[in-house]
Amino acid sequence: MTETIIGIDLGTTNSLSASVFEEGPEIIGTAQDACMVPSLLSRTGNGWLVGEEARARLISSPTNSVYSVKRLMGRGLEELEEEIRELPYQVEAAQRKLVKIRLGEESFTPQELSSVILSRIKEKAEKLLERTIEKAVITVPAYFDDAQRQATRDAGKIAGLDVVRIINEPTAAAIAYGLDEKKQGYVAVYDLGGGTFDISILELKGKLFKVVATHGDTRLGGDDIDRVLVTLFTQSLLDQYPNLDLEDPSSRQILRKTAEEVKIALSGSMEVEYILELPEKRIKHRGQLKADELSRQIEPLLKRTFDSCAKALSDAGLKHGDIDEVVLVGGSTLVPAVRKGVESFFGRTPHVAIDPYKVVAIGAAIQGHLLAGGRRDFLLLDVVPLALGIETLGGTFSKVITANTSLPAEESEVFTTHVDQQTSIEINIFQGERELVQDCRSLGRFKLRGIPPMKAGFPLVEVTFRVDSNGLLTVSAYEKRSGTEAQIEVIPSHGLTQMEIDAIMEASFEHAVDDFNQRQLIEFKQTAERVFRGIQMNWKIAEEILDEDQRFSIQKQMEIVKQKMTSEDSQILKAELDALGNLTRPLADSAMGRAVLEELQQQNP
């Protein structure tokens, strides 16, 4: 099969494309050449700025910039009264009860504007796939009517694309998980994006999905979660600075930006420290927020989504127990409280292994692949693509589950402390193939608290990684001597395309020798520190059993080791450490003998 039919998610906020490769369906793009195109446009004297290029002009030139054009597709002026009131650009009546957007002296239909975004996606796909793209499957919301679907098809045609199929976004999400391979059943697709919420109930008969009910809220999404955090931060600032004015544009922007960063960070951590810096007011405010506090604060928002879910179930004539599968779509579903709430409402674990930002485009790509005559003989998410593990002392990456381990998978490793009287341990979770965490991808972090004070090396902390068949990773830590435990759930495959995985693997091979040397260097430095502590603890014994020349040789060699600890050659450091070991062997033997004797005397008073 030579024909390529790509899948395109033409979104209100972001748009992206996907295709089916030999390894299976993936987003088209790399970390260096982002596949996601913000659905933003700005008109200049030289033509169009698209995506990130247009973002800055939303503020500097709002009347010449366009966003949320998807909301205008196939709709008349009367239908858009509420939306138009909030838009900075001018929307005017056109022929056949449709609308045009006026930018300066020019006017454009929503189809023309959407075609500019589609053209940019087409160009990026052709560049990355190194072939001409002529056909596509494009997704639309389930509630789009015939006029809106035709408008989407027209936009594709203007962009030079033959739109071979328009499919519903929830249907695409279900296809991405292979749910079209089931014979029958009901699928709930919970879609919580940046600004809107949709719930769709699909009925599967044979290989066809039928949307039996939809419901939603066009004014509910991740932006509202950000506003909850802004309110919290504002109150925290006012508690400390009662007369502070936070209504100016600069302060509001800083609060919103910090809120979004904290929300994202809490998707992979139990708590987050943040800094609110307001330079114009000479304020630098530090604070902490726990994930369970965010969960409590957004309960009213989540309840609104579940009220919509209940309405959709009622409209479909179904009960909670009738739903066979639940699929999550939209970036806001990465918030742990959202996932747990969905699981509680429907009584089953939702599918989360595919990045919710990308699942719709991937489903569209699979549909395009099948329409082009391709076979669905690939498996999705059947292995762990890259190693999973934790950060250990010195910034090294300790792998717990290795790459290409079949799912489901479970592995454990035992670690210990390196500081006396340590009562908590921070578990930092990473994914990658390099020796140091600085070269791997951070997935999340949590703390194991309440460890009784013990000497370094005495606690036994068992860290367990479990990845279920749905790709959901749970990491738990258990201190064996005290019974203290903690855990966190993260999504290991979030944001990784096959191209990125290949690039990471290739980099691990290219840097294998350097990485190994760096890891050894860190480990030998740690060994040297332990040796220094041991010598200092037993120096009184050294003064008793070693002559002055022997003690001088040890001290001199310690200085040499300290000097070599600043070098970048692990083997030189090892050689000097070995030399120090030979010099201190009589001391070590005597110290060990005395420790054994003292232990025997305590046991036989």
CA atoms of 14 and 448, how far apart (whole Å): 38
User: From edge to edge, which strands make up the β-sheet containing 197-205?
Assistant: 208-217, 197-205, 184-192, 325-329
383: nearest Cα among 249, 501, 555, 289: 501
Q: Which is the catalytic residue, given 9, 154, 391, 576?
A: 9
Catalytic: 169? yes
Give, in order, the Cα–Cα distances in Å from 87 to each of 14, 37, 58, 79, 144: 18, 21, 11, 14, 21
Q: Which two three-digit tokens encode residue 409? A: 């998978």
Catalytic: 70? yes
Phi-psi region of 371 (alpha: psi -120 to 50; beta: other; left: phi over 0): alpha
3-class SS string, 210-230: EEEEEEEECCCCHHHHHHHHH
Angle (CA) 488 493 496, round 5°: 140
Query: What does residue 181 show for φ and ψ, rounded to 5 degrees?
Result: -85, -15
CA atoms of 82 and 540, how far apart (whole Å): 84
Burial of 253 (0-12, 13-18, 19+ CB in 10 A): exposed
Q: Which is the catalytic residue, given 26, 154, 169, 355?
A: 169
Q: Residue type for 579, please?
A: A
Beta-bridge mates of residue 109: none
CA atoms of 196 and 200, how far apart (whole Å): 13
SS3 (DSSP) at 257: helix
Q: Which is the catalytic residue, given 154, 180, 191, 479?
A: 191
43-49-55-56 Cα dihedral, nearest 10 degrees: -70
**Residues acting as catalytic residues:** 9, 70, 169, 191
